[in-house]
Structure 1
Amino acid sequence: MKKYFNIFIVIVVFAGWGFSWSEVRAATIRVEIKGAYFKPSDEAFRDIYGQGQTYGAELGFKFNKFMGLWLSADSFSKKGKMTFTQEETTLKIMPISAGLSLEMPLSFISPYAHLGVGYFHYEESNILGQVKKNNFGYAGQIGLLIKAFGPLYLDLFGQYSSCKVKPLELEANLGGLKAGLGLGLQF
């Protein structure tokens, strides 16, 4: 956990070298809602729960033309069947991620990349009981911001995240691949 916190501090300090106080006062703020299709990395995880939709929100603070910070919260909830007993089991994964954002503004399209750390909350409940775990991981995202009109924009993105937890005897990766679309406002 300390390792990921230190990585986040280094990212914030690095971001601080890239802009001046006058740029901070002229910063751009983004607010976005998003939906994505999530494919977990862990094969055993996919066998029980499969893949599915995830929903979330993102807040961005762009300090200058190219660099900023982002904060994202997502939710993935799914029902599945236990491997041996076929009893119903329910899963919730709620990652909160933050980090550095780099953007290359072109005319109405801006390619971007996010790199940061995430805090993953995991809940699984079934006939055997309930398990709740939390751990730190990382996330990287690339995408295209497409200006629609006025402050409205679309965000077409792909993301990879990784977070390992050990709920019982087996280790599982809560991360995976996401492909999605967001709708946001930029001020």
Structure 2
Amino acid sequence: MLDLLERVHRKLSLLPKRSEPWPEALGRALEAVKRAVEEEAPGLLQGVELPPEEVLLGDAERLRRGQGPEGEGYAFWLHQALRLVPWQEAGEEGRCPACGGFPDVGFLDEEGRRFYVCAFCDETWRAPRVACPYCGEGRADRVVFYAEDPFRIYVCRTCGERFVVQDLRLKPALDLPALRARAAWYAVAEEEDVEV
């Protein structure tokens, strides 16, 4: 399954950004994502339906702020489509300085400094060494990690979320499709399957 997710993320990383106005850009991005996913993993979005436009646009706004809609398939589809659509709200602490999106993955640079990668525009910015990007927890005993070299999987014991980073000291080239596939894998993993 992890290999399939990585192939899907590699395919999605090749899709061009949309230039149409909102919400037409979102509609076209949703179509492009569905085609790309179906080419690589037929049936992955089978049975996933889009809600009426008003609900869809509300879910898109909430997802941009880190609040995922119900349904893993729908949330994945919408998230990938939003990566292709321009976003113009930045400046909130802990969010992308370019577009205001939340981080979905991160990396440790050659000196061990931690960086976030925006889930929507791929902008990177410096992050606290130990902190949960979702709830802000910063106590080392509450944000723990385990290593699957070259990846680190951080688990927040306060909110229960997981966050995956690549250690560039172990694998110097940042591989966003592989990193995002691993993050998607851990997002659906059962808590008892993860030993910390």
Relative to the length of structure 2, the TM-score reads 0.23
Larger Rg: 1
Provide TM-score, normalisation by structure 1.
Answer: 0.24
Q: Compare the two structures and name the one with the higher strand fraction.
A: 1
- When you count helix as a share of all residues, which structure comes out higher? 2
Higher relative contact order (CA 8 A, sep 6+): 1
